Amino acid sequence: MDNLYLPLKAEIKDIEQETFDTKTFTFVFKDKKDQDRFQYEPGQFIEISVFGAGEAPFGMATSPIRKGYFITTIRAVGKLTKALHALKVGDEVGIRGPFGNKFPYEEARGKDILFVGGGIGLPPLRSLIHYMFDNRKDYKNITILYGARTPNDLVYKNELNEWAKKQDIKFLVTVDVGTSTWQGQIGVVPVLFKQIHLDAPNTFAFVCGPPIMIKFVIQDLLKMGFKEENIISTLERYMKCGVGKCGHCAIGHKYVCVDGPVFNFKQIKNLPEKA
């Protein structure tokens, strides 16, 4: 009998220090068959185990088209994440998944795309961004707006430079508070809206970041004329099992780990908080 809760073994192939408390891990399943079989969609997440410390969910940050490895970016805030950060290349972890639902990239085909990411909200978006890069002709204009508190808090710093150079997308980055060496923009992410031109009714917006940022960004997007079903975000909830059984992430009878974490704004509005 297959065990829903038994993790598969995966090895850490690479670790990048993104910020003082955030690292990006590259994993490959130990068993090649597991790696070959592993298929996921942008927006989905995996449950990573460090035995003795526990297990927790993390969003995939890679596009599923790039096979052979997968990446997730993790901030050290609790027991499990701190244990992960203590590991080295070559160490093993347990992985279950993929779980959750996907970004609606199919419905977004043929439309303009707007990504708005804040701080550690960029990793889950990256999965979809790379997917769209890999399927570039399916999408019209792609705009990526990204912001963090300070320049040090930006993740994927090298990659951001590449995005800035890409000709087929528009990429803007900002920080709340600059440093002496920062030559880019200063201001909160919504400030970037003034610098871009959007065809709101025909654009899909994908927003990820701190709850406060999401709230203000969505307010602005609605004012601009975005349709509620075309504003996509991910819901944060305390999650445990990842498979809709333990009850922690339940909102009414929906489970963020099964019916989400990707939701559009219309669905979010209608979620029965009381139940």
Partner 1 sequence: MDGGEIGEASMKIKLIKEANVSEWLNGIIKKYKVMAPTKIGKNDFAFKAVKSAGDVSLEFLNPIISPVKDYLFPEKEVMLTYRKNGNSWDVESNLVDQEMVLFGLRSCDLAAMLFMDKFFLEGFKDTYYEVKRKNLITVVMSCREPMETCFCVCADCGPSSKEGFDLQLTELDGQYLVEIGSAKGEELVKLGSSFFSDASERNLAEKERIMEETKYNKFKMPTTYFSKAVRHVTTDDISENVWNKLGSRCMSCGSCSYVCPTCTCFTVYDEGDLTEGKRVRTWDSCMYGGFTREVSGHNPRAVQKERVQRRYYHKLSYYYLTKMGCHGCVGCGRCVISCLGGIDMSMVSKAARRNE
Residues at the site binding partner 1, with contacts judged by CB under 8 A: 1-7, 9, 30, 49-55, 77-78, 83, 90-92, 94, 211, 236-238, 240-241, 243-248, 250-253, 258, 272-275
Q: In terms of CB distance, is 111 or 149 closer to partner 1?
A: 149
Q: How far is the CB of 219 from partner 1 (least distance, A)?
A: 19
Q: In terms of CB distance, is 7 or 190 closer to partner 1?
A: 7
Contact 266, 218 (CB under 8 A): no
Q: In terms of CB distance, is 49 or 230 closer to partner 1?
A: 49
Q: What is the sign, positive or negative, of the torsion defined by CA atoms of 179, 180, 182, 186?
A: positive
Contact 191, 180 (CB under 8 A): no
Q: How far is the CB of 148 from partner 1 (least distance, A)?
A: 16
Q: How far is the CB of 97 from partner 1 (least distance, A)?
A: 12
Q: What are the percentages of helix, strand and coil residues in the chain, rounded to 5?
A: 30, 30, 40
DSSP letter at 121 equals G
The tokens describing 82, both together, are: 């701190």
Q: In terms of CB distance, is 12 or 188 closer to partner 1?
A: 12
Residue 98: asked if its preceding bond is cis (omega within 30°), the reply is: yes
Number of C-beta neighbours around residue 85 at 10 A: 17
Q: How far is the CB of 44 from partner 1 (least distance, A)?
A: 14
Q: In terms of CB distance, is 114 or 249 closer to partner 1?
A: 249
Q: How far is the CB of 25 from partner 1 (least distance, A)?
A: 15
- 């990411």: which residue's tokens? 117
